[in-house]
Structures are given as structure tokens and as C-alpha cells.
Amino acid sequence: MTLIRRIDAGAWPPQNEGFVFRDWIKGRHAGQTLIEFYTSVHPASANLSQWEVRIRNGQVAVNDVEAVEPTRVLRVGDVVSYRRLPWVEPPSPCHVDVVYEDADMVALSKPSGLQVLPAAMFHQRTVLSLLRRVYGGGDSGAGGGGSGEAARAGPGAAAGAEAGADVGRGAVVAGGPAGVAGDAACACSCSSEAKAQGGGAQQAKKERQARQQRQRQYLDVPAPVHRLGRGTSGLLLCARTTAARRRLTELMISKTAAAAAAAAGTLLASNSASRSPTTLPEATSLASDSDREAGNTAAADASGAAALAALISSAPASGSGCQLPLRKFYRALVQGRVKADQGRVDVPIGPIPHPGVDRGLFAATPDGKPAASVWRVLERRPGPGQGPPPGAGAAAAADAGAATTQGAEALAAQGPVVGAATAGQAAPAVSAEAGCMEAECTLMEVEILTGRPHQIRIHMAAMGHPLVGDPLYGAGGRPKVGMDAAAALADEEGGDGGSADPGEGGYGRPGDCGYYLHSLELHLPHPITGQPLRLRAPPPPLLMTTLERQEILAVEGLESRGREDGRGP
């Protein structure tokens, strides 16, 4: 059943209900004191003196008993918990749009600025909280959970933003097996039923087990099965059943593994050719705009399309035997003029040390895991005072209006796109200034063949074109010089952490917004039926092509004239 509707909280509460973070003490931490444990395991959350104040204020407990002595020695098996007091979360959108829904999965269109899972400063203003309002009994709770507790979730300011390092890990934490309360009620009912029937106890037990098994198939709340950055808008897949979650996770893992193997081969070949095993490969350009500048636009289009199609078709198939059964397409607005029309980036991505991020910040690094992205230019947008770019005629505009990469013709038989603005959803408002920027920029379409954290932000920066407005990643795919994420910690605790503007020497964090990136389309087989699906979330105006904006303005004009005609005598 396909639904197009909005889940809207109306307004978030002024502050959340606080949060409890729990840790289980293992052998390597046994013998440490409370203060030693917290300063070594969660250094991004507070310094030594701040942790001491928290402990003495009664915000820390051991085995659910308040512990106010920082020198308390910990033993294996102890459960330590830190109770963070209620705080005012930063401003955030309070809605998501449902673009597809059935008994097994839900596809959402998320606005930029909305956190998916509880992390860092956001524990109530999240997608998970909104889902609980509809699917979880209406209790938004702190961080979207009724208990306001986080099992094994670190209290660090920025650590949570990178917590989704493994595909599907956040989903498992967010949505456990459903039917706990229902199981108890069912057991009670079945027990009484068995007693009444006397010799039917065995039959009642079988029926109870069957009902419990059916209930466990459904999750309390639809669980996100992949990451989507807070500043990224667009499609987010959520599983409603354990079987769907397992299958969707398998699809993503197999896709990433297959593409990573191909990317690793590309990297090896590149390093062998350069005889430098620690050199990051450069982006592969498939077709430059030199032909366009020379007036040979047809040759440029033909050669570029053929090259990109070859890249797509050469990508390895997943374990299911289908050719890349899961495909993800994004829109990105990058800085500067990208000269090539299309290409591929094979730059490894992995964690590097970064102040304020316990597990490290993901960035371009030779020691990272293989990663691959295929991209193509949709529009080149001149800066103020510049003329139209070469090839910006009718043919280029028509080409820019395409929504998928070359080589996607094999997916044409998948049926209509779900989630288009025409399917009962109001089209996004478009202004005449939607395409205006302060400097030259390029609108890109990017298909990620692997699923590394911040992959598009890193890969676009690695090829010399960081996303417009990205406060964290600079040219080369590394954090911008001079940023200090640790300065955010004082801000989180209500203090003065310094300037939050990287341009003024402030800090950059993984969850910072300001960049322009949109999850546009997902092509995948249904996790249960196998039916091909093409899901789409209309992009915001700034990430539309000129042709797309003109089409929406034309539709709005027709609708306006129709309303005027309807008011006539």
C-alpha cells in the first residue's frame, strides 16, 4: 500500500527529558576508578574536572546506586551510568514525509537539519522520535525512547555522529524485537486458557508460541537501515519487520563489499602505476568539456555516456546474482566549475584522529577502506557577473533534466517511480532565485557504489570540489585546517566553546549542516517480495536543474489560473 503523507510533531518541547548513558565494565577497565574510566573512555564529553563535578553531583551511578566518589574502583560486570540533565536541543525540523509504506518497510523523505538517531546534542528531535509518535504508541520520550536511556551509547559530544560506522548497526540498536508487552499479555491469557481447558495445556502452549513468533517479526518502531547525515535531505529506508531489516542490511552490505573489491583493484592498479603505495588516487574523468568549448557537444555527450555506462556495467554483481540490485543516487552542489562531464572517484575512506571525536573522523586516507562513487555533471552555474557556461543551450538543459545516470536503462522495466511530487504530494515551492549562488558552482548527480560514512562529501572534496557550504571537509577530503572539534564540548554543556563558524577559526563536527546534499533515488528489490522498486524524493529547489524548476513553475502557474477560473461567475 502506497501512502503519501506527512508525520509532523507540530513543535518540539522546549527541552528534552535528559538522557542516561550506560556502560558495561569489561576486563580491560576492571581496576580503574570512576574518574579514570570516564576520562579515558569518553574524553570527548568532558575533561577531568568536569567529570569530577558530574560524579560529585550524583549524576553517575554504579549498578543503579548513586556513586559520588570519583575514586570508586570498578569491577568486571559493573554497570556504570551517567545521567545527563535535561537540555535545550538546537533548532530542528519537526516533520518527515512518507513516500512509500507497506507491511515490511517505510521510505521517508527527511528534511535537512533533522537527526536520524539520537546522537550528540540531539536525543529528542530525531526521525526516531517522529516514528514513535505514529508507530510506537505516541511516546516521543527523550531521544525517541520511552525510558530515555541509551544502552552502550557514549555521552561524547561528537562520537554519536560517527556511531553508524557499520551498515545497519544503528538500526539494530534503534529498533529491537517488538511485542514484549504483548508477549506478556499473551502468556497470561494463554495460561488462563490452558488451565480452563485442563488437558489442552500443550495445545495452548503451541498457540502461544506461534503468536509470540508472529509478534517478534514486527519491530516496535520502523528501524532505519542506513545512515543519512543530519545535513543531508532525502530518502531514508526503514524496516518494519525483522526479515525486511535483515534483507535490506544484506543488500547494502553485499553491494558495498562487491564495489569495495572493485575499488580496491582500481586503487592497487593506480598505486602500481605510480609506484607509490600510499598515494591517494585521483578522480577519473570520463569526458571533459573541452569538446563543448570547441563546439563538439555531440561528440562529448556520446563519449561521456559510453564511458560512464561502461563503468556502471563493469561494477561487480552482488551475491544475489542481480546486477547491483541496490542503487543510490544523490544530488550534490559542489564548489567551482567541474570541467569533466562525468567520472569516478576511488579514494579510500577511514577514521583519522580528530579532536572531540572518540572513534576518529572519517576522511580520505590511504589506510581507509575502499570506496567508489560515480558522478556526472547536471549543470554548471556561473557566479555573479559571469556569462552562461558553454553548452548551456536547449540540448544541455534537456540533458540536465535527466534524473539518473547513464547506464540506468536496464532499470527502465522497474515501473513508475514512487514518491514523485505528482503522487499526491505538494510540489516544493520554487523561487526565481533558487539557482543563485555567490560563486561559481556545479550541480552534480552522484551514485555511491559503496556506503562509507560521509562518502560523497569526502569524495567530492577529494576531487577538488567540496560541497558548497560544507563546514568540515576541504579540498583533498580532509578536515579543514584550523578547526577544533573539541571547542564544541563547552557549548554542549552550556558554556562558551568559541566561535561555531569555521571561517572565523571555529570548529567543525561530523553532524554540522550547511552543505547541499540530497538522497534523490533508491533502486532496489522489495526485501520480501523481490518486486523492483524505484523510490524518489523530490529535491529542494537549489538542487533542481533549471528545467525542473521551470516545469514546477509552469505547473504552479496552471494551477493558479485554474483556481482563478474556478472563482469566476
Under 8 Å between Cβ of 527 and 320:
no
Does residue 147 have a pLDDT over 60? Answer: no
Average pLDDT, integer, range 102-113: 95
Selected residue with higher pLDDT from 553 and 422: 553
What is the pLDDT, as a whole number, of residue 151? 40
What is the pLDDT, as a whole number, of residue 272? 60
Average pLDDT, integer, range 150-161: 40
Does residue 343 have a pLDDT over 90? Answer: yes
For the stretch 476-533, pLDDT in tens is: 999 886 544 344 334 433 444 344 444 434 456 666 888 999 999 999 999 999 999 9
What is the pLDDT, as a whole number, of residue 422? 36
Task: Quote the CA–CA distance of 542 and 507 in Å, as a whole number.
Answer: 26
Backbone φ, ψ for residue 380 (5° rounding): -105, 120
Q: 500 exposed, middle or buried (CB, 10 Å; 0-12, 13-18, 19+)? A: middle
Confidence band for 409, pLDDT divided at 50, 70 and 90:
very low
Tell me the H-state helices in 59-179: 127-135, 169-174
Does residue 379 have a pLDDT over 90? Answer: yes
Backbone φ, ψ for residue 169 (5° rounding): -65, -45
Average pLDDT, integer, range 154-162: 38
Average pLDDT, integer, range 520-548: 94
Selected residue with higher pLDDT from 252 and 379: 379
Instruction: Indicate if the alpha-carbon torsion angle 45, 46, 48, 50 is positive or negative.
Output: negative
Does residue 365 have a pLDDT over 90? Answer: yes
What is the pLDDT, as a whole number, of residue 262? 76
Nearest to 446 by CA among 559, 338, 555: 338
What is the pLDDT, as a whole number, of residue 508? 65
CA atoms within 13 A on the CB side of 160: 23
Which residues lie below 8 Å from residue 552, measured CB to CB, with a gap of 6+? Answer: 421, 427, 428, 430, 544
- Picking from 5-14, 230-239, 307-316, which range would have the lowest pLDDT averaged per residue? 307-316
| Arithmetic mean of pLDDT over the chain | 72
For the stretch 206-264, pLDDT in tens is: 666 665 555 556 677 899 998 899 999 999 999 999 999 999 999 888 888 878 787 77
Under 8 Å between Cβ of 348 and 368:
yes
| Domains by residue range for the chain, with CATH | 19-85 (3.10.290.10)
Does residue 466 have a pLDDT over 80? Answer: yes
Which residues lie below 8 Å from residue 317, measured CB to CB, with a gap of 6+? Answer: 258, 323, 324
Which residues lie below 8 Å from residue 169, measured CB to CB, with a gap of 6+? Answer: 163
For the stretch 421-457, pLDDT in tens is: 433 333 344 443 444 466 899 999 999 999 999 999 9
Does residue 371 have a pLDDT over 50? Answer: yes
What is the pLDDT, as a whole number, of residue 136? 75
